[in-house]
Amino acid sequence: MFLQTFFEPKLDLDRLRAMLDTCGPWARANAVHTLTPAQMKVLFEACEGEALTLDAMVPTGEPLVEVIHHGKNTLPMFSHFQKRFCRPDGEDSPDQLWGYNHNGGLVTAVTGPGYFVATLTEKGEVLIDYAKVPPRKPAGWPTIMGPTARAGSLVWAGMTDVLRRVTDHVTIGTAYMNGKPRGQYFALCREDPKV
């Protein structure tokens, strides 16, 4: 899929959204994986103020049911990954999601899984906070580790992500380190949960 046509001479967000909403799941994920760093930056800026909800991230109301978001980031290596989310079980965390970053075996072996807690901000964005670690997880997820486990302190410690809505299935995000923008972006495409 050639996405450049949606970005030149300037971003046509309505056309891009229409395409992403009407294409199938494979084509939508492929489109996300073909975004360039420059396109991700433009898309993040264009989606400011777009309301995103936790329900959009995890549509199922069932606790501890995994919802996979396929992602691509602007890093020069290891740019394809997944963020996996679930709703908490119990009544202690109704306004948050739990999750982790699913990467290739080598990356996870070195950095740990990058567990996080996601909450909604007043601006209608989803904040992913790696300093907050879920107390429980779905079966099959890796062992819960804090952000400083293994070499995670080089990646997860002090990091937060901010997500904005593009479409019902696609979000665009950026990373912050200790509250400062890192100039790195990523796009996610939600896989419909199997319930």
Q: Give the tens place of pLDDT for each residue, 127-142.
A: 999 999 999 999 999 9
Determine the Cα–Cα distance for residues 58 and 101; give it in Å rounded to an integer.
15
95 has pLDDT over 80? yes
Confidence of residue 97 (pLDDT cuts 50, 70, 90): very high
Q: Residue 179 sits in which domain range? A: 4-190
- Return the pLDDT at 185: 98
Determine the Cα–Cα distance for residues 158 and 105; give it in Å rounded to an integer.
23
Q: Which residues contact 131 (CB under 8 A, 6 or more apart)?
A: 147, 157, 158, 160
Q: How many CB atoms lie within 10 A of CB 11?
A: 16
Residue 119 lies in a domain: yes
Q: For 148-179, write each residue's pLDDT tens digit.
A: 888 778 789 999 999 999 999 999 999 999 99
Determine the Cα–Cα distance for residues 41 and 179; give it in Å rounded to an integer.
18
Is the separation of the CB atoms in 115 and 100 below 8 Å? yes
Determine the Cα–Cα distance for residues 143 and 160; give it in Å rounded to an integer.
21
- Return the pLDDT at 106: 78
Residue 195 lies in a domain: no
101 backbone dihedrals φ, ψ, rounded to 5°: -95, 125
Which helix (H) or strand (E) element contains residue 68? strand 67-73
- Return the pLDDT at 195: 57
Domain count along the chain = 1
Whether the ω angle into residue 9 lies within 30 degrees of 0, i.e. cis, is yes
CA distances from residue 66 to 53, 86, 97, 105, 175 in whole angstroms, order as listed: 17, 5, 11, 19, 23
Is the separation of the CB atoms in 134 and 107 below 8 Å? no
Residue 11 lies in a domain: yes
Residue that is written with structure tokens 């990646």 in the block: 155
